[in-house]
């Protein structure tokens, strides 16, 4: 019981650290800057009024020298200046003295210019003050500061507002040319915006430029503000500040695909056409997630340049049979020939996944398949909006949602799994904030596999949904089946989970060691299941216990909303 309390306290402390610098007292710096802007414009206005008053007084003084003058008082002088500035010229008042006419000439010359200046000054004042006033009035709302106004940024912002309608969307260092654009664009940098906000509570930075490396450099440069940062980048360093979360559209798409369209047969045959970034990620996540049967022999056929992929994954041959069919393990066939040379394979495949990085190329291949080949399996096409012809997946508008981009629940459950593992196996294992990116990713994959575990336990009753979409009652039902299983059945479940974990480690070139050292890529769990100690076998159950933990997490969230 004490361990459970310590675990909850530990996770709570970590989540609090992710909300760094929660301050409810507003920083006076924002008000100070607002006051500075106002003082600047007020100073200019007073200077203009001072010159204007001097000219009026000189005009009155010059005109009072003549008894025939019609401009004798300050009010008459003001009225005359207004009719002159606006070029109306009623003629009811006019100068009669030489000095008055000279001053009047000055009014005539500068009138139009001065009027244009006042109009321009007013418009500039309104334009410059609007963001300041808007940000001041809405400083208590959640801020999402984007480093660039890109297509992906706007898609995510649109989806975000459906979940958090009071969110303040701000595009930094951006000029807005569209008057109907609903969100705020400002010329200030993200640093200046955070400084203006004062309190960093519920402030978020979104690094959303089109270049991955630019986003990475921005995220690292802004990490000192210690607000949550989402970095749109496929490049993830081994170690990075805890407040930075990296988001890769290809990675997220691959993980979601195998959860939403899971493997249903132990010997399914899958064809992957297109082996760029998206295709490689699709195969990686397939090998890491598609472990559902005790003796499965799934066949993956890959069409595309696989040379670099194989060079980097030195232990790939230890987890699958390469280019040879096997009755004991999954197989991966890397085809050097063109995808449309083997019509028999296309016709027999259970599914064909078109996942070239180019939408145009995917549509072209789809058209060729439908025109020339008879197929019996399901067709899936990446990042395309075709309907009815094939099942589309990975569309940016469907993936750039708070659930996928912010992955709050994914992180919560991954942290939970790691902390449970530490307490069960070895407390000397580094804490979550000290883990490298690969070990965190392994915990994320374990969380994603929850949906596969539901399929393993509930079989045909299981819905084709990601872990985050599963109903708590369904999760409880699956967990009860695991808990009430015989010891022989639990051994099968543990072997499946151990195999899945080994696949992840070996895909990233880990090997066995008598301790855990992620920098050296060694882990004490990387050995055959039969060689594991009883304590280590029991630790495997942690991944199955996540079914119950996720159900509790969802129920707690629902209760907090009521």
DSSP strand pairing (391-393 vs 511-512) = unpaired
pLDDT digits (tens, 9 = 90+) for 291-329: 999 989 999 999 999 999 999 999 999 999 999 999 999
CATH topology of domain 252-398: Rossmann fold (3.40.50)
Q: What pLDDT is recorded for position 4?
A: 41
H/E element holding 500?
helix 487-507
Token pair belonging to 328: 């004991």
Note the pLDDT of residue 306.
Answer: 95
- CA 266 from chain centre, in angstroms, equals 34
Q: What is residue 27's DSSP assignment?
A: P
- pLDDT confidence bin for 31, thresholds 50/70/90: low
Residue 469's pLDDT is: 93
Separation CA 158–CA 177 (nearest Å): 19
The two structure tokens encoding residue 558: 């629902």
CB neighbours of residue 445 within 10 Å: 19
Which residue intervals of 235-276 are DSSP H helices?
249-260
Q: Give the residue among 361, 363, 371, 357 at the shortest CA–CA distance from 390.
A: 363
- Whole-number pLDDT of residue 66: 83
**Residue 22: per-residue pLDDT:** 39
Give the closest residue to 320 by CA, choosing from 281, 353, 288, 342.
288
DSSP, res 221: H
Do domains 138-247 and 252-398 share one topology? The answer is: yes
Owner of token pair 């009652």: 473
Q: For all residues of the chain together, what is the average pLDDT?
A: 86
What contacts 191, CB < 8 A, 6 or more positions away? 222, 225
pTM (two decimals): 0.80
Judged by DSSP in three states, 469 sits in helix
| pLDDT at 23 (0 to 100) | 38
DSSP bridge partners of 269: 299
Q: Which residue has the tokens 């002159």?
A: 84
Task: Render pLDDT for 361-415 as a digit per residue (tens, 0 to 9).
Answer: 999 999 999 999 999 999 999 988 887 789 999 999 999 999 999 988 899 999 9
pLDDT tens per residue across span 319-369? 999 999 999 999 999 999 999 999 999 999 999 999 999 999 999 999 999
- Domain 138-247 classification at class level: alpha beta
Tokens of 131: 């963001």
Which residue has 């480690």 as its token pair?
505
pLDDT 10s digits, 89-131:
777 787 888 888 888 777 777 666 666 667 776 776 666 667 7
| Mean pLDDT of the region 496-500 | 96
Interatomic CA distance for residues 228 and 231, integer angstroms: 10
Backbone φ and ψ for 393, nearest 5 degrees, come out as: -145, 160
The pair of structure tokens assigned to 217 is 């450099």
Q: Residue 19 pLDDT > 50, yes or no? A: no
Reported as a single tens digit per residue, the pLDDT across 534-555 is: 888 888 999 999 999 999 988 8
Q: What is the CA radius of gyration of the chain?
A: 34
pLDDT at 38: 66
Question: Domain residue spans in the chain?
Answer: 31-129, 138-247, 252-398, 407-561
Q: What single-letter DSSP state applies at residue 7?
A: H
* Domain 31-129 classification at class level: mainly alpha
Share of the chain above pLDDT 70, in %: 88
Expressed in angstroms, the distance from the first to the final Cα of the chain is 29
More confident residue, 61 or 22: 61
Q: Which residue has the higher pLDDT, 470 or 4?
A: 470
pLDDT at 87: 67
């Amino acid at each position: 019981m004490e361990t459970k309390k310590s675990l909850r306290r530990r996770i709570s402390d970590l989540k609090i650290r992710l909300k760094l610098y929660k301050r409810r007292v507003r920083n006076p710096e924002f008000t100070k800057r607002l006051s500075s802007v106002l003082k600047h414009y007020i100073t200019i206005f007073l200077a203009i009024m001072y010159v204007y008053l001097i000219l009026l007084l000189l005009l009155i003084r010059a005109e009072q020298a003549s008894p025939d003058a019609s401009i004798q008082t300050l009010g008459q002088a003001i009225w005359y200046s207004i009719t002159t500035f606006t070029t109306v010229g009623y003629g009811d008042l006019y100068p009669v003295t030489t000095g008055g006419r000279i001053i009047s000439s000055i009014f005539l010359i500068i009138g139009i210019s001065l009027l244009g200046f006042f109009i321009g000054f007013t418009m500039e004042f309104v334009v410059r003050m609007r963001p300041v006033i808007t940000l001041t009035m809405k400083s208590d709302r959640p801020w999402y500061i984007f480093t660039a106004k890109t297509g992906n940024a706007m898609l995510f912002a649109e989806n975000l507002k459906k979940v958090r309608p009071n969110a303040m969307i701000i595009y930094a260092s951006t000029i807005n040319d569209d008057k109907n654009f609903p969100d705020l664009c400002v010329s200030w940098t993200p640093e200046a915006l955070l400084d203006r906000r004062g309190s960093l509570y519920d402030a978020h930075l979104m690094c959303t430029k089109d270049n991955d490396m630019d986003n990475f450099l921005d995220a690292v440069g802004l990490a000192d503000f210690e607000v949550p940062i989402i970095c749109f980048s496929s490049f993830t360093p081994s170690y990075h500040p805890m407040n930075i979360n990296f988001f890769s559209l290809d990675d997220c798409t691959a993980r979601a695909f195998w959860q939403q369209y899971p493997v249903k047969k132990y010997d399914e045959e899958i064809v992957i056409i297109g082996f760029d970034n998206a295709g490689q990620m699709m195969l990686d996540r397939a090998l890491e997630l598609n472990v559902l049967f005790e003796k499965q022999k799934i066949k993956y056929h890959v069409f595309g340049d696989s040379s670099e992929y194989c060079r980097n994954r030195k232990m790939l041959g230890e987890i699958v049979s390469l280019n040879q069919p096997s009755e004991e393990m999954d197989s991966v066939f890397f085809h050097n020939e063109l995808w449309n040379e083997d019509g028999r394979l296309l016709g027999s495949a259970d599914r064909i996944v078109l996942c070239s990085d180019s939408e145009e190329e995917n549509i072209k291949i789809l058209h060729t398949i439908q025109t020339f080949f008879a197929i019996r399996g399901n067709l899936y096409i990446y990042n395309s909006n075709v309907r009815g012809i094939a099942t589309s997946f990975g569309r940016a508008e469907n993936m750039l949602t708070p659930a996928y981009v912010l992955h709050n629940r994914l992180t919560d459950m991954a942290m939970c799994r790691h902390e449970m593992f530490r307490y069960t196996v070895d407390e000397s294992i580094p804490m979550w904030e000290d883990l490298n990116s690969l070990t965190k990713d392994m915990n994320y994959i374990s969380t994603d596999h929850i949906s596969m575990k539901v399929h393993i336990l509930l079989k045909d009753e299981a819905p084709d949904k990601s872990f985050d979409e599963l109903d708590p009652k369904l999760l409880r039902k699956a967990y009860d089946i695991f808990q009430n299983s015989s010891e022989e059945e639990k051994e099968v479940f543990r072997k499946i989970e151990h195999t899945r974990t080994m696949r992840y480690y070996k895909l990233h070139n880990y090997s066995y060691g008598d301790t855990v050292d992620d920098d050296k890529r060694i882990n004490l769990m990387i050995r055959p299941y039969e060689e594991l100690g009883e304590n280590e076998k029991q630790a495997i159950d942690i991944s199955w216990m996540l079914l119950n933990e996720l159900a509790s997490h969802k129920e707690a969230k629902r209760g907090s909303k009521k």
